[in-house]
Amino acid sequence: MDFIRTDIPDVVICKPKVFGDHRGYFTETFRKDVLEEFLGYRVNFCQDNESRSSYGVLRGMHYQMPPFTQTKLVRVIEGRVLDVAVDIRKGSPYYGKSVVVELNETEKNQLFIPRGFAHGFVVLSETATFAYKCDNFYAPEYDSGFLFNDSFLEIDWQIPLEDLILSEKDKNQPLFSEAEKFDFSKKLYEKYISNGR
């Protein structure tokens, strides 16, 4: 597995090695020890999720507030998606900035998104199967989010607005300026990302 830091260094592209021949392919999609060595802190994933969506389905922007903040490792099993992570850490030099990466079944790249970021994606292919690991359990009472097309964020979703398919919840999320945020104080943020290491 190779790792590439993005323009927001805490968000990391993970590139697995894919071995293929006439039978198909094999790839190692997760190695806890290798990832932790690169990051320099522990990640204890405890829940796996999977969704299947059609072209134009947009899910986002979502996150959970403390004490149920989540680190995510996201990937595409089938199809193509545009994946987006937005820094919601008040005081961060990257606050309000985003990382936008295409994930697809061919390259099999993944995106590591630490606590303190909102996440969303839109399906670019006819269908897509999307999977991700979380290091905290789903807790709906701590669920939060903001509007995917808030002009402040300047995210190009690469899909015409009229083609987008959203839940009622995601259509009615607050603006980024009105949504709950994280505190970027060093002590608190280290607690968020390290699970109390």
Active site residues: 62, 132
Give the pairing type, strands 182-183 and 89-90: parallel
Count the Cβ atoms, other than its own, within 10 Å of residue 66. 14
Among candidate residues 133, 126, 179, 184, the one with its CA nearest the CA of residue 153: 179
Measured between alpha carbons, how far is 30 from 69 in angstroms, rounded to an integer? Answer: 21
Please give the helix or strand (H or E) that residue 25 lies within, else none. strand 24-27
Among candidate residues 152, 138, 174, 173, the one with its CA nearest the CA of residue 58: 173
Measured between alpha carbons, how far is 182 from 177 in angstroms, rounded to an integer? Answer: 13
